[in-house]
Amino acid sequence: MSIDTNNAGIEQKTSDEDAQARNYRPRLSFYHANGKGTGSAARFEVVPACGDRDGAIFLTLALQKSVATGSAGQGNRQHATFDWQNRVTVKLNFGDLCQMLLVFRGLAATIADGKGLYHDSRNMTTLINLTRQTEPHPGLALDVSRRGKTESEPAARARIVFNSAEAFGLGAALEQTLGLLAFGIQKDAVCSPFPAPAETERAAC
């Protein structure tokens, strides 16, 4: 895009950044609601490596908050909602993702023989596990539990089961992000900051 003004250089750069943003979508979400209100949702957000900063994937799980009501035919359909305010968020680095991909690719039944990924921070301890299951439905169960180190920090746990097709697609997508976490994206792309503190206040780094 060519702009003939005194600020052409700045405006050109802004246009290029906008184009890059349109060509790159860092978030993938799964919503598993049910009629009992016991479902959950998962969101994977990629932050590529940039400069001296390693990349990471922020995994967020939220429990179902309400069930769907009404119907589309009657025009009063209300979709199920999820409790994102009380979400559980963990930061996955390159090594964490490699451990998970062993399960996604069928090279392991669970992470570290069932021990999972252990994240310890100043305020909390988080355990992440991914397990291949056959009953009651085949797929992969992702489980995140968090325990605060003080009585004022309540414990939290969230779980979601990806069916076989979802697990196949998610595993393939996550495998593609290994390069982003290690090397970032092509030159001229803008370095995006990690999510703001409000988004990561419950994250276990």
Whether residue 201 lies inside any domain: the answer is: no
Count of domains for the chain: 1
Whether residue 163 lies inside any domain: the answer is: yes
Whether residue 103 lies inside any domain: the answer is: yes
Q: What does the pLDDT read at residue 22?
A: 58
Whether residue 177 contacts residue 97, with contact meaning beta carbons closer than 8 Å, is answered with: yes
DSSP notation for 63-96: EEEE--BS-TTTT--B--EE-GGG-EEEEE-HHH
Whether residue 98 lies inside any domain: the answer is: yes
Query: Residue 159: pLDDT above 50?
Result: yes
Query: Residue 142: pLDDT above 60?
Result: yes
Whether residue 55 lies inside any domain: the answer is: yes
Lowest mean pLDDT among 8-17, 86-95, 98-107: 8-17
DSSP notation for 124-150: EEEEEEEEEE-SSSSEEEEEEEEEESS
How many residues are there in the chain?
A: 205
- What CATH number corresponds to the domain at position 183? 2.30.31.10
Q: What is the mean pLDDT of residues 22-36?
A: 87
Tell me the pLDDT tens digit for each residue of 67-101. 988 777 777 778 899 999 999 999 999 999 999 99
Q: How many CB atoms lie within 10 A of CB 132?
A: 15
Q: Which helix H or strand E contains 27, and what residues bound it? A: strand 27-32
Whether residue 136 lies inside any domain: the answer is: yes
Whether residue 15 contacts residue 160, with contact meaning beta carbons closer than 8 Å, is answered with: no
Cis peptide before 136 (omega within 30 of 0): yes
The pTM is what? 0.78
Q: How confident is the model at residue 191 (pLDDT cuts 50, 70, 90)?
A: low
Whether residue 114 lies inside any domain: the answer is: yes
Q: What does the pLDDT read at residue 172?
A: 97
Whether residue 40 lies inside any domain: the answer is: yes
Secondary structure class of 30 (helix, strand, coil): strand
Q: How confident is the model at residue 203 (pLDDT cuts 50, 70, 90)?
A: very low
Strand partners, 66: 81
CA distance linking residue 155 with residue 86, whole number of Å: 11
Domain that holds residue 135: 26-67+79-190
Q: What is the mean pLDDT of residues 157-176?
A: 96
